[in-house]
Amino acid sequence: MKTRQIASALLLAGILFSATTARANINITITSEIYIPPCVVNGDTLITVDFGDMDAQKVDGQAYAKSITVPVSCTYYSGAAYVRVTGSQLTGAPTNVLKTDATGGNADILGVALYQGNGVNSSFPLTLGGGSNGYGYPLTQGWTGNGTASSQFTLTAVPYKQGGSLEAGAFSATATMSISYL
């Protein structure tokens, strides 16, 4: 009987010992995503540019230009600032010209050109799209307060005519703008 108890104890010890040594390695996967938060432009409120009444013969990409300065607040402000403007481009026009919702003969020739900074300067277009990095294009003009939480951005909008003669009528153009640091 004692031999049987010893054999049972040894068998039980062997089972316990083999169970504690036969543990499998478990992989642990940890995932996350680091992102760069966009800045808050104009307090997240609509930016409105009103050209008022315009003489159709004076629309030339220079006349009726309006500059506007908007506040920009950033929680992340390390590196260089980039601006992204998303909107429809007027077909055949430069990459900084928004298509308008004009009707009739104006539909294919009237746009709104956008520029960085105060004034119409072809050296500083506010180019549409995300650029090669998806965040837009470097802010090179009209940007004050670089590298700080509170900044300002000045942009200029101007009616743009691409050939032809304009007809009387209302129009508008829309786009979204974001500013981020990279």
49 is in which domain, residue-wise? 40-181
The three-class DSSP label of residue 116 is strand
pTM of the predicted protein model: 0.82
| Residue 7 scores a pLDDT above 80 | no
Provide the 8-state DSSP code for 88: P
Q: Report CA 116 to chain centroid distance, whole Å.
A: 15
Segment 73-102 mean pLDDT: 96
Instruction: Please report whether residue 94 resides in a domain.
Output: yes
The reported pLDDT for the residue numbered 107 is 87
The reported pLDDT for the residue numbered 103 is 84
Instruction: Please report whether residue 93 resides in a domain.
Output: yes
The reported pLDDT for the residue numbered 15 is 52
- The domain tally of the chain equals 1
Segment 54-58 mean pLDDT: 95
The reported pLDDT for the residue numbered 10 is 47
Supply the CATH number for residue 60's domain.
Answer: 2.60.40.1090
Q: Report CA 99 to chain centroid distance, whole Å.
A: 19
Instruction: Please report whether residue 7 resides in a domain.
Output: no
